Amino acid sequence: MAVKLVGDPDHPFTRGGLCAKVNHYLERVYSPDRLLHPLRRVGLKGSGEFVQVSWDEALDAIADRLRAIIAQDGPTAILPYSYVGTQGIVQGASLDRRFFARLGATQLDRLICGQTASAGLGSTIGTPFSMLPEDIVHARFIIIWGTNPIVTNLHFWPFVLRARAAGAKVVVIDPLKTRTAEAADWHVQPLPGTDAALALGMMHVLIAEDLVDHAYILEHTLGFEELRRRVAEYPPEKVATICGLPTSEITGLARAYAAGRPSAIRVVIGMEHHSNGAMTYQAVSCLPALTGAWQHRGGGLVRTTSGYFRQALQPVDMPELQDRSVRAVNMVQLGKALTDTELDPPIRALFVYNSNPAAIAPNQNLVLQGLCREDLFTIVLEHFMTDTARHADYVLPATTQVEHLDLVPAWGHTYLTLNQPAIAPVGEAIPNTEFFRRLAQRLELDDPFLQESDEEIIRTALANDHPLLEEISFKRLEQEGWAPLKFTDDWQAHGGASFATPSGKAELYSEALARQGLDPLPSFTPPRESPAGDPKLAARYPLMLLTSKSALHFLNSSYTGVARHRRAEQEPLLDLHPDDAAARGIADGCWVAVFNDRGRVALRARLGDRVRPGVVAMPHGWWASLSPGGSSPNALTPDGLADRGGGGEFYDVLVEVSLADEPQCGD
C-alpha cells in the first residue's frame, strides 16, 4: 500500500513542488468511490445502475458485440474517444491506436487543444520551437497572454518571480481577472476573442513610432512591407473600440513592450478556443519578430514544450497502420457524430478512455443525447463513475499513475519522465494497454504488435537517434526517474538561427497561406458568436460567457470525482459585473440561470470586478451530475471549429442571465 506521495526536490524545474491537484493523489487511488471491478449496465443509460461482472464475462460480451457490429456495418461503425488523461504515451497513445487502426475503425481527430495555436504560430515562426521556459528568468518585460500559470502551470511561475525580482515587469492580458492577473504588475482586460486586434494595434504603434528593429527585420523576416500596410488599418483608436480598452493602454503597452528588453510573451492554448483562434496566434507571433526580441536570451515567445518530445521520440502508435481513406470524426464534434442520422454507417460502438466527453466536450446536451442512444454500445475505462461512465454498457476499472508503467513527456518543461508503478493495481484494475491486449486476443487478432509489453513500447519510443535524446536511455530513466532533453549550453531559439518555416525566416506574410487561398497576413475577424460577430443573436443573448480553467483543484474534469477536491472548490459560481447584475435585479449570492439556445446552467452569482460589463464567467471542470442545477458549462458552448487547425470555438458563447426560479437568493 502506498502511504505517501511527494515531489522530487532534485528536479531542476519542479523542485519538489506539487500542485493542489496532485498533493493528495493517493486519496484518488484509495477513494471509496474508485471503480475496482468490471461493471455491466442494468438500468437506463445515465441512471448509473450496474452490476459487477468478471473480466472474462465483460471481454467476451464486448468481443461478441463488436463482431456483430462489424459483420453488419463494418469496422467504421466503431469510434474510439480519448485524449491525454494519463499524460503518458504508453497508456494514452500506443496499443489503443494500433488496435483501432488494425480494426479499421473510424479515426478520431484529437484536435481539441493545441493544434489551432500551432497552426497560427506555424504561419509566422514555424513549430515547434520557441524559448525554453526557464529562460524567462532573463526577460525584463513579460507578457502572459491568455493563460493562467498559477493555476495551470504552477512550476513556471517561480521562474517569472525570479525575473521580476531581477527587475522584470509582468503584464497579464486576459478578459478574466485570474489569480495570475491579480499577481501581475499590470492587467490588460480586453473583450473575449479580441486579442488579434490588440496585437495588430500594438504593431501599428511599433511601426508608426519606429520602435522596431530594422536590422533584425531585414535579416530574419519576410513580408514587412505587406505587414506595414495591413497594420495601418488598425490604429489604436479603432482597436480600443474593438477590444473595449482605453487607447492609452494600447499605446502604452506597445511602447513598454518595445522598451523592455529582453521582452518575452508567454502563450499556451487559451486563446485558440475561438473561431479566430489561429489568426490570433499568427498576429501575436509577429510581435517578437518586429522588435528583434528573439536575438536576446530571455526574449521571444514561450509556448508549450510538447513539440520537442514529438520530434525526439519514436512514434509508438505505428502511424503506418493508419489508413487515411478511413473516415475521421473531430473530437470537438462528438455530439454531431453520435446523433447524425445520415452518417453511413452510424456510430454503433464507442470506446472512451482517458477522457470524459459528457463533461469536457462542447454542446453537452447533444453529446448526452448521443450517449443515451440505446443502440449505441459504449465501453468506458475509468477510475470513477463519471458522467460518461454512467451512460456506458460496460465500465472497466483502469489503473492510476502509481499502478502502471508509462513514459511521460511534458508540455511545460523539457524533462522526460519514466512513470514506474509503486504499487500493484488496486482491485481488478488493469492498464489501458492490458485491456487492448486482452480484447485483441478475444477477437483473435494475432498481430505481434498488439501484444508488445509496456517496456517494449517505451524502448521503441527511445530508439531514435534524435540529438534531443542524446544520453537518454531506458536504463538511465529507470535509475534516475527523469532526464533532460539535450540542448546545447548556448541554445537560443531564433537569435540568428533559422525558423522552422519554408523560408527559414519569420514570415510576417505567409506564402503558404496565400497558396491555400487564405489571408497571408494577420487580421481580425470578430468571434462568430459575439456581439460584433452576430448582432441579432446578441440582441437575445447579450452577455459573453467565459468557461475557463480557473478551478485550482480540478484538471479539466479530472479530480472532480474526489470529495476533497470538490470540498476545496466548494461550488461553481458565475462571475458577474455589478452593472450587469443591477440591470437584472441580481444580488451577490443569488441563484441565477445562465442560458442560450443550447442549454441552461443554474448556479450562484458572485458579483465583482473579475469580469468587465458584458462578460460573465464560470469554471470549467464540474460534472453535470455534481453541479447544483444538474448541468455544467458545456451545456452552453458551441461545437463549431476554429479557423485553422481543427480546434473548437467553445469560448465564443453568448448567453443571458436571469434570477433562477429556485432556490432563492442566499439559500
Q: What is the pLDDT of residue 2?
A: 87
Residue 17 pLDDT grade (very low, low, confident, very high; cuts 50, 70, 90): confident
Task: Work out the average pLDDT over 337-342.
Answer: 96
Query: Which of 222-226, 343-347, 466-470, 635-639 shows the lowest per-residue confidence on average (mean pLDDT)?
Result: 466-470
Residue 196 has pLDDT above 80, yes or no: yes
Q: What is the pLDDT of residue 497?
A: 58
Q: What is the pLDDT of residue 16?
A: 80
Residue pair 281/117 in contact by the 8 Å Cβ criterion: yes
Residue 486 has pLDDT above 80, yes or no: yes
Q: Per residue in 538-562, pLDDT tens?
A: 999 999 999 987 787 887 778 888 8
Helix 247-259 crosses helix 236-243 at what angle (to 10 degrees)?
A: 110
CATH topology of domain 535-659: Barwin-like endoglucanases (2.40.40)
Residue 638 has pLDDT above 90, yes or no: yes
Residue 253 has pLDDT above 90, yes or no: yes
CA distance 628 to 631: 8
Q: Percent of the chain at pLDDT above 70? A: 98
Integer distance in angstroms from the first to the last C-alpha of the chain?
A: 43
In Å, what is the CA distance from 185 to each residue of 256, 267, 499?
Answer: 13, 18, 32
CA distance 518 to 131: 28
Residue 495 has pLDDT above 60, yes or no: no
Q: What is the mean pLDDT of the chain?
A: 94
Three-class DSSP labels, 512-571: HHHHCCCCCCCCCCCCCCCCCCCHHHHHHCCEEEEEECCCCCCECCECCCCHHHHHHHCC
Dihedral sign for Cα atoms in the order 632, 633, 638, 643: negative
Helix %, strand %, coil % for the chain, to 5? 35, 15, 45
Q: Which residues of 154-178 are buried (b: 16+ CB within 10 A; e: fewer)?
A: bbbbbbbeebbeeebbbbbbbbbbb
Residue with cell 509503486: 422
Task: Work out the average pLDDT over 82-90.
Answer: 92
Cell of 593: 440561470
Residue 114 has pLDDT above 60, yes or no: yes
Q: What is the pLDDT of residue 90?
A: 97
Q: What is the pLDDT of residue 187?
A: 98
Tally of CB atoms within 10 A around 119 = 24
Residue intervals of the chain classified under CATH 3.40.50.740 are 36-111+318-402+421-453
Q: What is the pLDDT of residue 128?
A: 64
Full-model pTM: 0.95
Q: What is the pLDDT of residue 667?
A: 46
The CATH number of the structural domain formed by 116-303 is: 3.40.228.10
Dihedral sign for Cα atoms in the order 33, 39, 42, 47: positive
In Å, what is the CA distance from 373 to each residue of 346, 347, 368, 390, 638?
Answer: 12, 10, 9, 13, 21
Reference 89, options 322, 547, 406; nearest CA is 406
In Å, what is the CA distance from 1 to each residue of 26, 32, 137, 165, 419?
Answer: 10, 15, 41, 43, 17
Residue 490 pLDDT grade (very low, low, confident, very high; cuts 50, 70, 90): low
Q: Which amino acid is at 581?
A: A
Reference 321, options 25, 484, 102, 473; nearest CA is 102
Query: Which of 25-29, 230-234, 489-493 shows the lowest per-residue confidence on average (mean pLDDT)?
Result: 489-493
Q: Per residue in 259-274, pLDDT tens?
A: 999 999 999 989 999 9
> What CATH number matches the domain at 36-111+318-402+421-453, 2.40.50.140, 3.40.50.300, 3.40.50.740, 1.10.10.10?
3.40.50.740
Residue 19 has pLDDT above 90, yes or no: no
Residue intervals of the chain classified under CATH 3.40.228.10 are 116-303
Residue 665 has pLDDT above 90, yes or no: no
Query: Which of 494-498, 650-654, 656-660 shows the lowest per-residue confidence on average (mean pLDDT)?
Result: 494-498
Q: Per residue in 156-181, pLDDT tens?
A: 999 999 999 999 999 999 999 999 99
Residue intervals of the chain classified under CATH 2.40.40.20 are 535-659
Q: Per residue in 375-430, pLDDT tens?
A: 999 999 999 999 999 999 999 999 999 999 999 999 999 999 999 999 999 999 99
Reference 413, options 2, 106, 15, 104; nearest CA is 15
Residue 666 pLDDT grade (very low, low, confident, very high; cuts 50, 70, 90): very low
Reference 576, options 542, 549, 614; nearest CA is 614
φ, ψ (nearest 5 deg) of residue 385: -80, 80
Tally of CB atoms within 10 A around 495 = 17
Q: What is the pLDDT of residue 129?
A: 72
CA distance 626 to 553: 15
